[in-house]
Amino acid sequence: MNIQEFILIIEAEFDEVDKNSLEPSTSFRQMEGWSSMHALILIALVDNHFDVLLTGEELRGLDTIQDLYSLLESKEA
């Protein structure tokens, strides 16, 4: 999965986010209506699509979608 496909999945999962509004450089905490509930949804999404278990601590250390994608790539490899 490339980063554009990853962004499409995030946009599909988060109702509040408009399609084609996210970029790799988007800080996910700045996304419309971001809350702790979205963090759980993101962890579930990552677990489901990448089979990678992301801890809350790891997520807290990340800023942008690119950061997250890079971490997932390194964990998958």
Partner 1 sequence: MALLKTENTSIRAIYTCVPTTIVRTIDYEWISMQERLLFTKTTGIIERRVASESTTCSDLCFQAANQLIEDLDCRNEIDLVLFVSQSPDYFLPATSIILQNRLGISTKAMAFDVNLGCSGYVYGLSIASHFIQSGNIKKVLLLAGDKSTISTNYEDKSTFPLFGDAGTATLLEFDETAKSWFFSMASDGKGKDAIIIEHGHSRHPYGTIEDETKEIEPGIIRSKKHLKLNGMEVFNFALKEVAPSIKELLSHAQQDIEKVDYFVFHQANKLINESVRKKLKIEAEKVPLSIDYFGNTSSASIPLTICKELATEALIENKIYLLSGFGVGFSWATVILNLSGVKTKLLEYA
In order, the DSSP letters of 21-37 are: ---TT-BGGGSTT--HH
CB of 34 to partner 1, least distance (A): 11
Q: In the complex with partner 1, which residue's Cβ is closer, 21 or 25?
A: 21
Tokens 């988060």 -> residue = 14
* Least CB distance to partner 1 at residue 72 (A): 15
Identity of residue 59: L
Contact residues for partner 1, defined by CB under 8 A = 15-16, 33, 35-41, 43-44, 47-48, 53, 55-56, 59
Query: How far apart, in whole angstroms, are the C-alpha atoms of residue 70 and residue 28?
Result: 14
Residues in the chain: 77
User: In angstroms, what is the minimal distance from the CB of 62 to partner 1?
Assistant: 14
Which one, 16 or 23, has the nearer CB to partner 1? 16
Tokens of 35: 């809350």
Nearer to partner 1 by Cβ, of 23 and 51: the residue is 51
- Whose tokens are 């994608």? That residue is 69
